[in-house]
Structure formats: structure tokens, C-alpha cells
Amino acid sequence: MKSELLNILCCPVCKGPLVLEVESEEAGEIIKGTFYCAVCNVYYPIDEGIPNLLPPELR
């Protein structure tokens, strides 16, 4: 996932901002990490470069 994508993403539940935490990065792409919504207290995973922003009940 390109880090610029952060600017267009929001929490799918409350539409609030997400906090990005990068675990591994490569050539400007985030490979592994999480998005965190403080309002909903939910983590959204980034795995193999792919952000999963499905609400928890749809995963």
C-alpha cells in the first residue's frame, strides 16, 4: 500500500481519521502494519501490502 493512500482513508464505521502504524515498509510501500480508529477502538490490518478496511463484523 502506498503511504499516500492514508490521506483518502477513514474508518468505515464512524468515518473518523485513522492512525497508521507501520511494521514493515519497502520502497515507499507499506507491507505490514495497522490502521487504528481511536473512536471505535478498532484495528484494521495491512497485510502483504493490502489494507483491510472491512468493518469487524464483515471480516
Partner 1 sequence: MSQKRAVVALNVPARAQKVYYLGEQLDVLPNVYEPSDDTYLLVDAALNVVRPTDSVLEVGTGCGLIAKIVARVARSVIATDINPQAVANATLNGVDVIHGDLFANLNRRFDLVIFNPPYLPTHSDMSSDWLTRAWDGGPSGREVITRFLSQVDKHLTDRGRVLISISSITGYREVTERMKARFEIVRTLAERKAFFETLYVILGVEARALSERQ
Figure out which of the listed residues 23, 39, 50, 56 binds partner 1, where binding follows CB under 8 A. 50
Judge contact between 52 and 10, C-beta under 8 A.
no
Q: Which of 1, 10, 6, 4 is nearest to 38 (CA)?
A: 10
Figure out which of the listed residues 33, 34, 48, 56 binds partner 1, where binding follows CB under 8 A. 48
Q: Which is nearer to partner 1, 26 or 41 (CB)?
A: 26
Residue type, 24: S
Residues of this chain that bind partner 1 (CB under 8 A): 1-2, 5, 7-12, 15, 17, 26-27, 29, 31, 48-55, 58
